Structure 1
Amino acid sequence: MNAPGFAAAPRRLEQLPFSHSFAALPPAFYTRLQPKPLPAPYLVCASPAAAALIGLDPAEFATEEFVATFAGNRILSASQPLAAVYSGHQFGVWAGQLGDGRAILLGEVAADAPGGALEVQLKGAGLTPYSRMGDGRAVLRSSIREYLCSEAMAALGIPTSRALCVVGSDELIMRETPETSAVATRLAPSFIRFGSFEHWYYQGKTAELKILADHVIDRFYPELRADANPYQALLAAVTRSTAHLVAQWQAVGFMHGVLNTDNMSILGITIDYGPFGFMEAFDAGHICNHSDSQGRYAYASQPNIGHWNCYALGQALLPLIGEVDDVHAALAGYATAYQEKIDELLHAKLGLQASMEDDVGLFEAMFKLMQDNHVDFTLFFRRLGELQRENPGADAPLRDLFIDRAGFDAWAGQYRLRLGRENRSDAARRAAMHAVNPKYILRNYLAQIAIDKAQDKDFSEIARLQKVLERPFDDQPEFETYAALPPDWASQLEVSCSS
């Protein structure tokens, strides 16, 4: 969720105007419960930009009440904590009932967002009836990664949940090794997932399925209510927004890592940051999640997986839509929506104003060259903006990214010819390209440096990195090292589903 800030006078915590539309659903949709207190909590980081979305005064960050509230140790009088039930397909296999195994929803706060409010959710707040074999906690490592990436994605203009803060504790919990625990506070218009609908479909409970669909339509897609088949229209809208979201991921080299149906938002926003990664040395088959042994969620597979997940949602909505053909008609828009969006984004990334017949060939040749040379994804597009149409001699910073210099020269020649078919100055094209090709992304090694320091109670690097990532498209000379090629040791980093 990357809506503009909510225009309201800054509020104190106790003044947050909570509402509870999800809690107004029947009790079968959730379990009311209290968070489990976090021992001796301390503030790790907090986002003024996220606080502004709900009109919260950042001065509250410094109070004991803020830390206690978002550790789950203190319950605001207006909140109604609950954990939601859902199900889902995990790595393509039906996993049955899942649910908020460590997330607790406090309620919704008025905001400039779809539905007019943002849900406030604690992640890592303790056991729930849906925890299965888990302990209900999150570790500091993964909480910092989610915090940084949520805010970085918003700055990139990609629809996403937001992160208000992370509260840590010296309490140890076991993953592969003992790690300290944390609670991350997330904001989103809704955390309803594809798997929320699958839950009721696979139980054969059409009445509950309809209640949920009506809730989503009335709150987030009210314009669909007048449609002849509002449930088909809902599927079509979600299919389209999902296709657009995946195209935006591909355009910045973002890999989600765990595109299970229970991690797919009904609003087409990025949620549930786990073993994510941003592409560095380009490899279309790159797998960012060490737990994904079959490569189901590799970079190049994300568009097809997005489509597969929409089919799973379509199956779940079939009892409401009525006819299989109507489900297929709604899903048919995915390929077109994705292709149109990625085409638009690639033209912008290459500084091309018009779409011409042979552009696809230019794009395909570019990605093949990047693949063959394992060129850094972000640096390539950023430096491409510096290319001068009439001066190949100035190509060195870009050309040096390639082992096959002759191959680059040949492609650059074709690119220059294509640029020559449009009347645009180098300066204008550079400005346009730099506005869409980030200089700064959340590289895994940058996150790891911040995590390592945080584990020693030094949170300065989180704040510094967040400051850099808030302006991903700007030249920030004082932070030039954050835009450099990753060090050799970065290639040894692994991220997995363990968090």
Structure 2
Amino acid sequence: MSLPLDNKLDNSYAALPPAFYTRLMPTPLPAPYLVAYSDDAAQLIGLDAAQAAAGLDVWIGNAVPQGATPLAAVYSGHQFGVWAGQLGDGRAILLGDIATPHGPMELQWKGAGQTPYSRMGDGRAVLRSSIREFLCSEAMAALGIPTSRALALAGSDQGVMRETVETAAVVVRMAPSFVRFGSFEHWYYRKQPEQLKILADYVLARFFPALQAEAQPYAALLREVTQRTARLMAQWQSVGFMHGVMNTDNMSILGLTLDYGPFGFMESFDPGHICNHTDQQGRYSYANQPQIGHWNCYALAQALMPLIDDVPLAQAALDSYQPTFAAEMDRLLHAKLGLSQIPEHADADRKLFDAMFEVMEANGADFTLFFRNLSQLQRDDAGAGSAVRDLFIDRAAFDGWTQQYRVRLQHEAASDTARSAAMNRVNPKYVLRNYLAQVAIEKAQNKDFSEIERLLSVLRHPYDEQPEHAAYAALPPDWASHLEVSCSS
């Protein structure tokens, strides 16, 4: 019986020298069952929904498609700002890559067993965290934010020990590449510049061929990655997304959101919010994400210095981070408020944005609902916009800000109706709130996967009204405030 992906997979990474990886097979799991499958992700690699059931043994790692050359990659990294040395794919195994009209797409098992890089880990993932990664990967893609994708999620009742005994699961995730900042750090700190050059040349040739013609291609690579990272940080901030573990081994060389662990979406607005219970110092708080992105680019620059060999050139590449982030953040905030970027209003607009965040923070306004409901406010009707006003305890403070906002709207040519529609195209109504994921997890632990399917359906269209699913856009219930998410998965 043929399997999905039989004889369709290449593996460009396997063409690198053996020191870059270890070839190995996944470790089978007993009595697998399909938990979820993303039609949208499947279409990217030419699969249809009918192949979901036929592919169960592949999705769980019990069968390997013909022509696949599975491997686990080695890399290193800084974890919470501290050099951690060699890490690697401790529970991830690369099947290979498949050609698509939009370029190559790698497929990777996450949770398919131990590898030589597992250290003291068991190489497994649990159903709880796998559901979160599956749903958020697809939710972020629907939001238009660069991300790895999730093709399938399969489970097994085999026990896995975390704080308690949980059940095992495997996510099949996809990305053009899973090369990380830490992949370059590995060879730099091992003082192996030849290997470093091989990796950089591989990335340039495969993903940035135009940069090869530049006078300083490695500095150009650093500049490209720095700018991609800066734009990604702005996109995260604009939807209130918090990654939780921005270690250099979790940073994509392509500027993708990678390695979903203790992530979260901002609810009651607090710039200092820490979504990762393990991060007691708050290194990866919402407010810190942009500067940590910059810090990580410096770590990458250090790793590339044997190739760049020009400190001012590397610094110039890094110096592009702040203006890129600022420009993208400014563009996104103008769009979220339905405003045009008018040069003569630039300074006043920045003050308007700052005042907005101050009143949001002082009142703990819900991030997603604030921006979504702001579209109902009208330029000349002070009575409109009650839904957004109701998010504020200090109504006078909110009214004071909206007075400034309405004055600014007088300089916009668009009608209230057109502006509202434009704002709703960039301000999602639906995001993966922690409590929504928790409800789906608890049902799935009882073999009811219907909530995962329903959530996936809702999150595929985050900007649509979907009145039949309005409950998924409501303020979180009181019990949700007690949810904690940590690095344990």
Judge same fold: TM > 0.5, yes or no: yes
* Structure 1 residue 112, shift from structure 2 partner: 3.3
Tell me if 1:234 matches 2:221.
Answer: yes
Aligned mate of 2:323, from 331, 336, 342: 336
Residue matched to 1:5: none
* Structure 1 residue 213, shift from structure 2 partner: 0.1
| Alpha-carbon contact 1:16-1:56 (below 8 Å) kept | no
Tell me if 1:161 matches 2:148.
Answer: yes
What are the Cα deviations for residues 460-493 of structure 1, in whole angstroms up to 9, with x where unaligned?
0000000000000000010010000000000100
SS in 2 for 1:208: helix
- Structure 1: distance between partners of 2:472 and 2:5: 39
Residue matched to 1:50: 41
The letter for the 2-side match of 1:297 is Y
- Structure 2: distance between partners of 1:111 and 1:372: 48
| Alpha-carbon contact 1:12-1:56 (below 8 Å) kept | no
User: Paired residues, what number?
Assistant: 485
Check 1:441–1:368 CA distance in 2 against 1; reply closer, same or farther (3 A cut). same
Aligned mate of 2:78, from 83, 89, 114: 89
* Structure 1 residue 62, shift from structure 2 partner: 2.0
Stretches of structure 2 that go unaligned for 5 or more consecutive residues are none
Aligned mate of 2:433, from 411, 429, 443: 443
The letter for the 1-side match of 2:306 is P
1:89-488 equivalences in 2 (<5 Å): 89-113=78-102, 116-355=103-342, 356-357=345-346, 358-488=348-478
Q: Any runs of at least 4 consecutive aligned residues in structure 1 with deviations exceeding 6 A, and if so which?
A: none
| Alpha-carbon contact 2:6-2:66 (below 8 Å) kept | no
| Alpha-carbon contact 1:12-1:57 (below 8 Å) kept | no
SS in 2 for 1:392: coil
- Structure 1: distance between partners of 2:324 and 2:67: 41
* Structure 1 residue 186, shift from structure 2 partner: 0.3
* Structure 1 residue 15, shift from structure 2 partner: 4.5
| Percentage of identical aligned residues | 67
* Structure 1 residue 327, shift from structure 2 partner: 1.0
* Structure 1 residue 431, shift from structure 2 partner: 0.6
- Structure 1: distance between partners of 2:40 and 2:412: 39
SS in 2 for 1:145: helix
RMSD: 0.9
What are the Cα deviations for residues 119-173 of structure 1, in whole angstroms up to 9, with x where unaligned?
0000000000000010000000000000000000000000000000111000011
What are the Cα deviations for residues 190-216 of structure 1, in whole angstroms up to 9, with x where unaligned?
000000000000000000000000000
- Structure 2: distance between partners of 1:434 and 1:381: 9
- Structure 2: distance between partners of 1:49 and 1:16: 22
- Structure 2: distance between partners of 1:483 and 1:182: 28
TM-score by length of 2: 0.98
The letter for the 2-side match of 1:223 is A
TM-score by length of 1: 0.96
What are the Cα deviations for residues 352-409 of structure 1, in whole angstroms up to 9, with x where unaligned?
0123231000000000000000000000000001111111112221111000100000
SS in 2 for 1:122: strand
| Alpha-carbon contact 1:257-1:277 (below 8 Å) kept | yes
Stretches of structure 1 that go unaligned for 5 or more consecutive residues are 1-10
* Structure 1 residue 14, shift from structure 2 partner: 4.3
- Structure 2: distance between partners of 1:353 and 1:70: 46
